[in-house]
């Protein structure tokens, strides 16, 4: 069947899609196809509305916005934590919306890395996002430990994926703490968090996860799996806005552990304004807050997270899997002759929410896509990352992107560009 004949099938799938109406909730640019929701999710009308309401509270109430705003700022982090909690499989008490991804990692490692005796090392992996590695290296340095010796990074066998057996083999009696991604940012592989947590705990090691590429895209059961801690950003799949406040999870068994980095917003809320120099930490994950919340950066999350509360993460995951499965089918049928290799797991249990298309000309193929108003992102040296998002992408978008890619390759349109990344790739 020629590719053009397949558009009808895509349209039919859109007609049957229960989530299709949610597309209208978002600001989509006419004539453009956005496939980068795994880097920065799009603005929804509800997120815009709650941001504007919070601005109005500031305009009209000044300081009284803390208690009397439409979304009172003093409880806003807690309110958003309750909306984040079902997405990560934690109780509202175990979750806090605070800080940023990297800052929360610092906070959690400062809290849970307790080198003692021969257990002085942190275990991570060689494919994770660089910021996590920089944070772990500096946490080791702060303890007077040389990262070259005390940060162990599990290698990948093929440069794409991690094998849980290799990670488990590296859980030696020298490891005090493990920090791993839930989903790898390049290949989109989901790690078996339940198994890794079980194995870590069997060896007396604490374990935490970076959920940037999974929260808002796949369900989690951090509490039931017994995960010690997790942290994530809310600007990708949760559409909270550029640089919006991040999230963290601390298992309830650790409540009462003094945070490594303390500040007055980690106080019990009824005690905070006692202004006592002896801190009374919150008895839940709220203790891991540090200073005043970035209210205007939290505000869009109220509307953004409402959408997830309405739809439910299981429905999001089901559609996301259908979209990426459909895209893989079309890539297999139409694009493999041009040298594309699917570098993400194919299995539903292992596949996150994006496709990782490998090609030696990836940087300039991305530029050619942008010239067609398709927004992907490029990850050096050879990955075109494409994330069809359940709440705002259509099956027809997937069809269209593959069809445009085919034209770009057929006509060698990518040759009009340099095969180099941009500043923000």
Ligand X SMILES: Cc1ncc(COP(=O)(O)O)c(C=O)c1O
Q: Let me know the angle formed at the C-alpha of 93 by 53 and 129, rounded to the nearest 5 degrees.
A: 80
Q: Which is nearer to ligand KYN, 39 or 214 (CB)?
A: 39
How many helices and strands (H and E) does the chain possess? 14, 13
Site track 194-233 with ligand KYN (rule: CB under 6 A), x = hit: ------------------x---------------------
**Nearest of 170, 177, 133 to residue 154 by alpha carbon:** 170
Give the binding range for ligand X (CB under 6 A) out of 10-18, 100-108, 262-270, 366-374.
100-108
**Backbone phi, psi, residue 275, to 5°:** 60, 30
Give the binding range for ligand X (CB under 6 A) out of 61-69, 125-133, 169-177, 250-258.
125-133
Tokens at 386, concatenated: 């494409």
* Residue 424 lies near ligand KYN (rule: CB under 6 A): yes
**Nearest of 374, 366, 359, 376 to residue 421 by alpha carbon:** 366
Closest separation in Å from C-beta 423 to ligand KYN = 10
CB 122 within 8 A of CB 109: yes
CA pair distance 394, 15, nearest whole angstrom: 10
Q: Cα dist. 22→85, 153, 234, 307, 373 in Å? A: 22, 41, 19, 8, 22
CA pair distance 375, 28, nearest whole angstrom: 12
Closest separation in Å from C-beta 185 to ligand X = 5
* 181 contact, one of ligand X, ligand KYN, none, CB 5-8 Å limit per kind: ligand X
Q: Which of 123, 162, 175, 233 binds ligand X (CB under 6 A)?
A: 233
Q: Which is nearer to ligand X, 185 or 340 (CB)?
A: 185
* Residue 132 lies near ligand X (rule: CB under 6 A): yes
* 102 contact, one of ligand X, ligand KYN, none, CB 5-8 Å limit per kind: ligand X
Site track 204-223 with ligand X (rule: CB under 6 A), x = hit: ------x-xx----------
Q: Which is nearer to ligand KYN, 176 or 384 (CB)?
A: 384
Helix axes 395-410, 7-16, angle to 10 degrees: 160
Site for ligand KYN in 138-197 (CB under 6 A): 185
* Residue 153 lies near ligand X (rule: CB under 6 A): no
CB 363 within 8 A of CB 379: no
Number of residues in contact with ligand X under rule CB under 6 A: 12
CA pair distance 253, 279, nearest whole angstrom: 21
Site track 50-89 with ligand X (rule: CB under 6 A), x = hit: ----------------------------------------
Closest separation in Å from C-beta 125 to ligand KYN = 15
Q: Which is nearer to ligand KYN, 69 or 188 (CB)?
A: 188
Q: Cα dist. 184→93, 110, 164, 361 in Å? A: 27, 23, 13, 22
Closest separation in Å from C-beta 247 to ligand KYN = 14
* 424 contact, one of ligand KYN, ligand X, none, CB 5-8 Å limit per kind: ligand KYN
Q: Which is nearer to ligand X, 223 or 379 (CB)?
A: 379
What are the strands of the beta sheet with 377-379, ordered from one edge?
341-342, 355-358, 383-386, 377-379
């Amino acid at each position: 069947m020629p590719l053009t004949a397949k558009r009808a099938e895509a349209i039919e799938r859109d007609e049957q899609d229960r989530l299709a109406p949610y597309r209208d909730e978002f600001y989509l640019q006419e004539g453009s196809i956005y496939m980068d929701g795994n880097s920065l999710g799009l603005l929804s009308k509800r997120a815009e509305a709650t941001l504007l309401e919070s601005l109005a509270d500031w305009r009209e109430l000044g300081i009284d916005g803390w208690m009397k705003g439409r979304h009172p700022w003093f409880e806003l982090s807690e309110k958003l934590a309750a909306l984040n909690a079902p997405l990560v499989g934690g109780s509202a008490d175990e979750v806090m919306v605070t800080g940023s991804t990297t800052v929360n990692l610092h906070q959690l490692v400062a809290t849970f890395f307790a080198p003692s005796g021969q257990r002085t090392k942190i275990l991570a992996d060689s494919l994770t996002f660089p910021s996590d590695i920089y944070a772990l290296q500096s946490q080791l340095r702060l303890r007077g430990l040389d990262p070259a010796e005390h940060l162990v990074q599990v290698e990948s066998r093929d440069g794409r994926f991690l094998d849980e057996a290799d990670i488990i083999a590296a859980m030696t009696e020298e490891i005090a703490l493990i920090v791993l991604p839930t989903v790898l940012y390049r290949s989109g592989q989901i790690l078996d968090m339940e198994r890794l947590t079980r194995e870590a705990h069997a060896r007396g090691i604490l374990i935490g996860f970076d959920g940037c590429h999974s929260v808002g895209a796949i369900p989690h059961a951090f509490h039931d799996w017994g995960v010690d801690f997790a942290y994530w950003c809310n600007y990708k799949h949760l559409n909270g806005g550029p640089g919006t406040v991040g999230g963290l999870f601390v298992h309830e068994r650790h409540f009462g552990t003094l945070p490594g980095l303390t500040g007055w917003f980690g106080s019990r809320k009824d005690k905070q304004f006692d202004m006592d120099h002896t801190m009374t930490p919150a008895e839940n994950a709220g203790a891991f807050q540090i200073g005043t919340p970035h209210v205007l950066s939290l505000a869009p999350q109220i509307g953004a997270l409402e959408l997830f509360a309405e739809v439910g993460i299981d429905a999001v995951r089901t559609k996301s899997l259908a979209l990426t499965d459909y895209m893989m089918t079309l890539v297999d049928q139409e694009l493999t002759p041009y040298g594309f290799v699917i570098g993400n797991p194919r299995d539903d249990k292992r596949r996150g929410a994006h496709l990782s298309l490998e090609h030696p000309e990836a940087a300039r193929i991305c530029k050619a896509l942008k010239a067609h108003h398709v927004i992907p992102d490029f990850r050096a040296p050879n990955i075109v990352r494409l994330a069809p998002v359940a709440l705002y992408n259509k099956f027809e978008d997937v069809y269209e992107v593959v069809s445009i890619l085919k034209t770009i390759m057929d006509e060698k349109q990518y040759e009009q560009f340099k095969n180099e990344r941009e500043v923000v790739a």
